[in-house]
A and B are shown apart, each in its own frame.
Chain A
């Protein structure tokens, strides 16, 4: 496999983490335009742990994940009383604050004659863990894929649990859910926090893979893409957001002829899909129907 193909596939896997994190928020019935912040926080923390403190990549990504989750928890608690639109706006503001904050952090370090550490708009360079440990692009693709599959496995288990079923009830109709004795606030806090962890994890891998990160990589457009993947993929199952990613990056990027018009093509595609399938490709309705059929035919 060529380095080019491997790196496109790795990027698809990495952004899948962001799309899945957007999915987890959508499940409880709210929209976040700020998942890129958790992705960025995960990236910066992982970079700091591995490049400045010499930590192992596993430690780095793990702490990155926890930091993403912690930020998300703070945001979830601050916005707990906000409904739909106001929640969405707050997530966007929060993410922009994080990005602007990172632009102000200047703490360059000199390690083995190379400059590393956060340096405001100049970014965080020389995140060399994968070089130092002789990981090729293909190796890293395998690593990322394994992590993604593991995450999907966990989400699959979650999907069959009572907590996910109830989260979906809260997402469908929070007042009706409340009248049945559920606490929508609790589910929102838990799922937003989980989403922060997932995004932080992906961000950590992204930092290791890219070896250079800067605050402006984690702008609104990144978040909007992650959200769009989850929306067109649908909220029926975690595989939905991955299909969203595959459609955008896989399809549009591989047809090089239109790569210059990719944003236009993608925007048009999102609009078209939402008109034809407002619930996304793998919608809850679709999943419910599949389940009914399976029961009917005793598969």
Chain B
């Protein structure tokens, strides 16, 4: 499991994370809510080693990830699907998938090919388009490709940064169906999401991040009964 303690990250003088602590359990979907600018993406970047934290610790299945560079974090089994930058548009779908397996050994070639076939079985639309430039896929298809590519590194835990942003409702349903499937297959997931109604369908645990701090932590039931959250996110009073 993933355990974050008092994590602080800044961009120059701006402190984006001001001591974030949270846990994500194995086999569960942990959902992080929060308004724009709350620091959700910053948290994802810090966890995956793209930005270095100023203080705090990250523990992942007993290994410390604090301050590790991105390739090492990925090797430890923590993979990120970043927000808004989903695919390499000029590369084919297949090449994008291969790019997800960079941290694996060269000797795994056959296994990597087998994994690509598995991805095609799970995401049939990608199989049809495997030779097409990824930039020509629709938004939903690109999100599927990004998910499949992250899975190519065989992660223990997946970090998803707003996978439903900018997608039509039907496609959002598809994305969540996939997330549900992955959860059933035993994958641990940290899901950053603004769509609380959809998140309630899959999440086991919720955290609310606001201005770089965790302001709420609880189960779906506790969250639905929290007045502040109800007003801000569920449109109720």
Contacts and interface: CB of A to CB of B under 8 A. Distances in A.
Q: Do A and B bind each other?
A: yes
Interface stretch (B14-22, B97-105, B217-225): B97-105
A86 B100 CA distance: 30
A295 B49 CA distance: 38
Contacts of A284: 90
Interface in B15-37: none
Interface string A129-170: 000000000000000000000000000000000000010010
B88 A181 contact: no
Instruction: Find the residue from A166, A179, A292 having the highest chain B CB count within 10 A.
Output: A179
Interface string A182-197: 1100000000000000
B41 to A, nearest CB: 10
B200 to A, nearest CB: 27
Contacts of B86: 176
Nearest to B69: A183
A173 B71 contact: no
A230 to B, nearest CB: 18
B71 to A, nearest CB: 4
Chain A facing B: main interface SS: helix
B75 A181 contact: yes
Contacts of B70: 178-179, 181-183
B2 to A, nearest CB: 17
Interface size on A, as a range, is: 10 to 19
B85 A169 contact: no
B153 A288 contact: no
Contact of A173 (B45, B48, B79, B85): B85
A288 B102 contact: no
- The bracket for how many chain B residues form the interface is 20 to 34
Contact of A166 (B89, B102, B131, B149): B102
Contacts of A182: 70-71, 102
A175 B50 contact: yes
B90 A179 contact: no
B38 interface: no
Interface string B39-63: 0000001001110000000000000
B199 interface: no
A295 B102 CA distance: 24
A285 B90 contact: yes
A181 B133 contact: no
A182 B153 CA distance: 13
Given A175-B50, A176-B82, A288 B71 contact: no
B178 interface: no
Contacts of B103: 180-181
B90 A181 contact: no
B196 interface: no
B91 A288 contact: yes
A179 B80 contact: yes
Contacts of A173: 85, 88
Interface of B: 45, 48-50, 69-71, 74-75, 79-82, 85-86, 88-92, 99-100, 102-103, 131, 133, 149, 153
